Structure 1
Amino acid sequence: MLYADGPVRSPAELSLVGERRRGHGSVYAALARGEVDTEGHHRLAASGSPHLAAADPVPHLRAEQGSARDGPGWPCSIVVALKTGRGSWTAPLDAVRLAPGDDAATVTAAQLRRVVGALVEFGHHRPDDPDILIVADAGYDGPRLAFLLAGLPVAVLVRMRSDRVLRRATLPRPPGTWGRPRRHGDEFVFGDPAARGTPQVRSRTRIRLYALARVRARDRLHPRLPHRSAWAAGEDGLPIIEGAVIRLQVQRLPSGAIPKPVWLWHSNVDLDTGEVDRCWQAFLRRFDIEHTFRMLKQTLGRTHPKIHDP
């Protein structure tokens, strides 16, 4: 594939490359009998990775199913290392297929534990380094992902839908108050400005593509977890998973569309202005993973072979 002049649409085309002149049968026989050293690939991929990762579930479509991003197919959880600078290249670290019925957060958490363990093993993270920032889109439940990754040197930054409702921390009870103490404070409604309160952090930054970016951050907000699905109450009930909520509003979009606010949830609390700015700038870099998907599909022909065995 590296020696080919253009995209490789099928294994048979490899037999036409000058450095690999073999019959079609030998190419398919090699695929059928060959093996992939998965652990060796994990170690090699993690040996040169920075401290910023993005995770995203993406379906790898079969050729007869079209090219829609969210269509049916073989969904995989992809983890890549994001890079700084003007380029949009990423370093793919790991890919795990999501089987029918799998919980995306559970599978991705186990995947990230393996990736983070390799990063620590190769010396990319030391005890006194900042946390590795895990950036994900709204397809993931940020609080649950942070709960499953507890104990690792990571921080989770996930976009939330604009119709979410979180809860504030409870206020101290006055002396002599009777009754069971409250577990949740007042509501924080994303779509209701009157219910947001005063932000703890304010920031204004001018950036080339979006003009003026206004940022507001509120601290110690948590979701009210349901007694169903993936959550199971322990002896002390459901956990309280606090984090910081960041609202990003840009002045314009490169496409000319009307910009809408972006809501981000960060698993750490008590963020200062510099940490808040790093968070929303890191989320903007998450879009680099979309360029990776496009290269895998259009340039490397990832979705063109009609594979019958998943």
Structure 2
Amino acid sequence: MSLLDDAAHVESLTALSRFRTDFYACLPARADALFELTDALLCTDGPVKTLVELSLAPEHRRGHGALYGALNHGRLEVARLRRTLSGLPLPRAADGRIVLACDVSNWLRPDAATSAERLFCHTYGRGRGSAQMIPGWPYSIVAALEPGRTSWTALLDAVRLGPGDDETAVTAAQLREVIERLRTAGHVQDGDLPVLIVFDAGYDVTRLAFLLADLPVELLGRMRSDRVLYFPPPPQPPGKVGRKPKRGAEFKFEDEATWPAPARTTTSATSRYGQAVATAWDRLHPLLSRRSAWADYPKGELPVISGTVVRLRVDRLPGDRAPKPVWLWWSGVDATAADVDRLWRSFLRRFDLEHTFRMIKQTLGWTRPKLRTPEAADRWTWLIISAHTQLRLARPLAEDLRRPWERSARPGRLTPARVRRGFRRLHEKTPQPAGAPKSGTAGPGRPAGSKNRHRAREHPVGKQSKTDTAKSAPKRQAA
């Protein structure tokens, strides 16, 4: 090993050790049990199938009762952990800008009638038209994306959506706080390129652009293929009197006859999708109406949220699927050919977040525990994020412990699952702030033959509007 490689190894180990120490400091109650639970999550072989099996790992020196007690009654300073995550090194795109992805992942709990604050979560089925709405806890997750094809992302934040939440308003507040923390940590400075935030379909990206217009960010989101946008109104002819039109010609995604000559068109050859053709039209905005999210907007004209529409078409998709064009909306205007090429490539990097969701669900077992309270679910979610962050920091240190039937990975190309496979060898080289457990005996429990007289309350599922909240509030008696 050269001196340069040795210095990089020491630097990576120092960053991992510092994060483990800072993470332990974020646990004010049941710290030892929560910290060792995270270590067991990192060092266990194979995917996590049940929560109680983590208590059998050598890194977890406490019993299974302490494990559940820590999740149900422990404490975790989320604000401090968020600042710690924002202070870590973040990946950047080729031009030096930070690219964030925001998406919702669901923790399905269809049989948990006694769990509060569940919503109906949209889930896709294997067959066409087999999507279902299943009760669960949806989490809005923000992560920083790496350039190039990879299964790694840097998780930065997670917020559980509640029954009375406006998803767009909550997402805007979440992203605003993430940007402020990145600015405090020095990742976002005056004069830097704007942070690009990428969304998939399902987000009101135009409203998000309006709510975050004061931040140094650009928003890029996918739109449905049946949307209709509008060009700016044409200039008023000289001498003409009367009211100026509010909008210009229609732009229907499904009607090619409404498409004028594009402002920009780029063509690129890719090894995975064949030839990619991106066509852009400038200064298109949606038609807003005073209902739903804009019902409480101050009196006067509704805002005009202009942006650039990009239509991406490729020759083929993996799995011999028939390619369909993808429609994107960018919050910027006057896009150059380099901007159009950068936008569609950045959108494809958003799918790296899907690999992270699959990793934390299928390997780390994020949605495996049958926790009752949403507070315990939040606590477990942040333990999962902390474990994934330690895997990311241990990426330059891990060995390739491949199976006989697996291919050797190139240097620096280990997947999160392979890094976790060798984390136990790194565990002994990192700080172990958790104290040894004290000796004790199990409690007596409920007497034999007695019944549980404190039945858990069942909670309804679904959104809760302001009208429902007003009806459920107790009425005050007149004095």
TM band (smaller chain): over 0.9
Report the Cα distance in structure 2 between the residues aligned to 1:287 and 1:92, rounded to whole angstroms.
Answer: 14
Corresponding residue for residue 303 of structure 1: 367
Report the Cα distance in structure 2 between the residues aligned to 1:101 and 1:163, rounded to whole angstroms.
Answer: 29
- CA-CA distance at 1:129 after TM superposition: 1.1
Residues 167 and 221, structure 1, Cα contact 8 Å, conserved in 2:
yes
Corresponding residue for residue 14 of structure 1: 54
222-231 vs 99-108, which moves further: 99-108
2:265 maps to 1:202: yes
* Superposition CA RMSD, Å: 1.7
Corresponding residue for residue 74 of structure 1: 137
Report the Cα distance in structure 1 between the residues aligned to 2:107 and 2:247, rounded to whole angstroms.
Answer: 41
Report the Cα distance in structure 1 between the residues aligned to 2:175 and 2:122, rounded to whole angstroms.
Answer: 28
76-85 vs 267-276, which moves further: 76-85
Report the Cα distance in structure 1 between the residues aligned to 2:73 and 2:220, rounded to whole angstroms.
Answer: 41
Report the Cα distance in structure 1 between the residues aligned to 2:373 and 2:72, rounded to whole angstroms.
Answer: 11
Report the Cα distance in structure 1 between the residues aligned to 2:215 and 2:103, rounded to whole angstroms.
Answer: 19
- CA-CA distance at 1:67 after TM superposition: 11
Report the Cα distance in structure 2 between the residues aligned to 1:26 and 1:63, rounded to whole angstroms.
Answer: 27
| The one of 52, 59, 70 aligned to 2:99 | 52
**Matching of residues 65-144 of structure 1 within 5 Å:** 68=123, 71-144=134-207
Residues 105 and 145, structure 1, Cα contact 8 Å, conserved in 2:
yes
2:327 maps to 1:266: no
Report the Cα distance in structure 2 between the residues aligned to 1:305 and 1:188, rounded to whole angstroms.
Answer: 48
| The one of 241, 252, 267 aligned to 1:189 | 252
Corresponding residue for residue 311 of structure 2: 247
> Which SS does the other structure have where 1:292 is aligned?
helix
Residues 54 and 81, structure 1, Cα contact 8 Å, conserved in 2:
yes
244-253 vs 297-306, which moves further: 297-306
Report the Cα distance in structure 2 between the residues aligned to 1:191 and 1:200, rounded to whole angstroms.
Answer: 19
Report the Cα distance in structure 2 between the residues aligned to 1:29 and 1:100, rounded to whole angstroms.
Answer: 27
Residues 222 and 242, structure 1, Cα contact 8 Å, conserved in 2:
yes
Residues 15 and 23, structure 1, Cα contact 8 Å, conserved in 2:
yes
Query: 1:267-287 deviations in whole A, cap 9, x for unaligned?
Result: 000010101111000000000
Residues 62 and 304, structure 1, Cα contact 8 Å, conserved in 2:
no
Letter in 1 for 2:198: V
> Which SS does the other structure have where 1:6 is aligned?
coil
State percent identity of aligned pairs: 52
The number of aligned residues is 310
Higher-strand-fraction structure: 1
> Which SS does the other structure have where 1:73 is aligned?
strand
Report the Cα distance in structure 2 between the residues aligned to 1:165 and 1:132, rounded to whole angstroms.
Answer: 27
Letter in 2 for 1:264: L
Report the Cα distance in structure 1 between the residues aligned to 2:123 and 2:229, rounded to whole angstroms.
Answer: 32
Residues 48 and 362, structure 2, Cα contact 8 Å, conserved in 1:
no
- CA-CA distance at 1:98 after TM superposition: 0.7
Corresponding residue for residue 453 of structure 2: none
2:69 maps to 1:29: yes
**Matching of residues 210-221 of structure 1 within 5 Å:** 210-221=273-284
Against the structure 1 CA distance between its residues 68 and 159, is the aligned structure 2 distance closer, same or farther, given a 3 Å change threshold? closer
Corresponding residue for residue 177 of structure 1: 240
Report the Cα distance in structure 2 between the residues aligned to 1:266 and 1:55, rounded to whole angstroms.
Answer: 15
Residues 63 and 305, structure 1, Cα contact 8 Å, conserved in 2:
no
Task: Give the unaligned 5+ runs of structure 2.
Answer: 1-40, 92-97, 113-120, 125-132, 375-479
Letter in 2 for 1:36: L
- CA-CA distance at 1:175 after TM superposition: 1.7
> Which SS does the other structure have where 2:43 is aligned?
coil
Report the Cα distance in structure 2 between the residues aligned to 1:67 and 1:268, rounded to whole angstroms.
Answer: 30
Corresponding residue for residue 38 of structure 1: 78
Runs of 4+ in 1 over 6 A off after TM superposition: none
Letter in 2 for 1:272: T
Task: Give the unaligned 5+ runs of structure 1.
Answer: none
> Which SS does the other structure have where 1:278 is aligned?
helix
- CA-CA distance at 1:63 after TM superposition: 7.1
Q: Which has the larger radius of gyration?
A: 2
Q: Which has the higher contact order (CA 8 A, sep 6+)?
A: 2
